Amino acid sequence: MSRVLVVDDEPQIVHALGINLRARGYEVVSAGDGGEALQVAAAQVPDVVILDLGLPDLDGVDVIAGLRGWTDVPILVLSGRGDSTDKVVALDAGADDYVVKPFGIDELMARLRALLRRNASDAAPAVVEFGDVVVDLAATRVTVRGDEVRLTPTEWHLLDVLVRHPGTLLSHRRLLAEVWGPGYETADGNLRLYVAQLRRKLEPDPARPRHFRTEPGMGYRFEA
């Protein structure tokens, strides 16, 4: 049973999420502010955190930073702040995904399952399959319908980061930092170019990508 920490100062949302999560077999713990959230997370280590940004004591971004100081637990931000800047700040602070209020419970649960699958697969054998593509992360080898596809070192590094986080929204800044390193945080043109190259080599229809999805203004999401 996966333990979900719900952090929100709106009791009705905590109550509604608790009912839906328990009905799907999750254990639920909750907190009404940021300080309590950090205490509960330390005492009852969760498998995933659902976090509102608008808390009465701490900003949700500060809670993300506090959690990231000691844990890699997946964090799903659930917030009324729909501006892309707020989303990027939360993702760059260490959040794994972002859902804007009001939200559909089915979408929220799908995002939650994706984060839990990703977290469970971090130590799994490093072979990822999607469509006709097989990515062998250990052998640094990619095949499409059995034929090997040549990737440049940068294409490979970008692919490696994306496929290791299936279903997770990765911000432009995070991808640039992980693939290109410090000093490239604003080089969005590089990122667009290499994502386009991956799509051309690995998507069945690069003009309508199914696996390397763009989240406008925020980043990219790999869907197997």
Residues 27 and 79 in one domain: yes
89 and 9 housed in the same domain: yes
Structural domain count of the chain: 2
20 and 99, same domain (yes or no): yes
Which residue is listed with tokens 């059995």? 146
* Same domain (yes/no): 92, 159: no
b vs e for 63-83, b when ≥16 Cβ sit within 10 Å of the residue's Cβ? bbebbeeeeebbbbbbbebee
Identify the domain containing residue 161 by its residue range: 127-222
Shared domain check, 87 and 43:
yes
Q: How confident is the model at residue 120 (pLDDT cuts 50, 70, 90)?
A: low
Residues 193 and 212 in one domain: yes
137, 186 Cβ separation under 8 angstroms? no
pTM to 2 decimal places: 0.64
Residue 217 corresponds to which tokens in the numbers above? 């203004």
200 and 136, same domain (yes or no) = yes
Confidence of residue 224 (pLDDT cuts 50, 70, 90): confident
> Which comes out higher in pLDDT, residue 184 or 40?
40
CATH number for the domain including 160? 1.10.10.10
Do 9 and 98 lie in one domain? The reply is yes
185 and 158 within one domain: yes
For the stretch 138-164, pLDDT in tens is: 788 999 999 999 999 899 999 988 998
- pLDDT surpasses 60 at 122: no
Q: Which two tokens stand for residue 33?
A: 């502010």
Taking phi first (over 0 means left), then psi (-120 to 50 degrees means alpha), and beta for anything else, what does residue 105 get?
Answer: alpha
Domain boundary among 104, 120, 136: 120
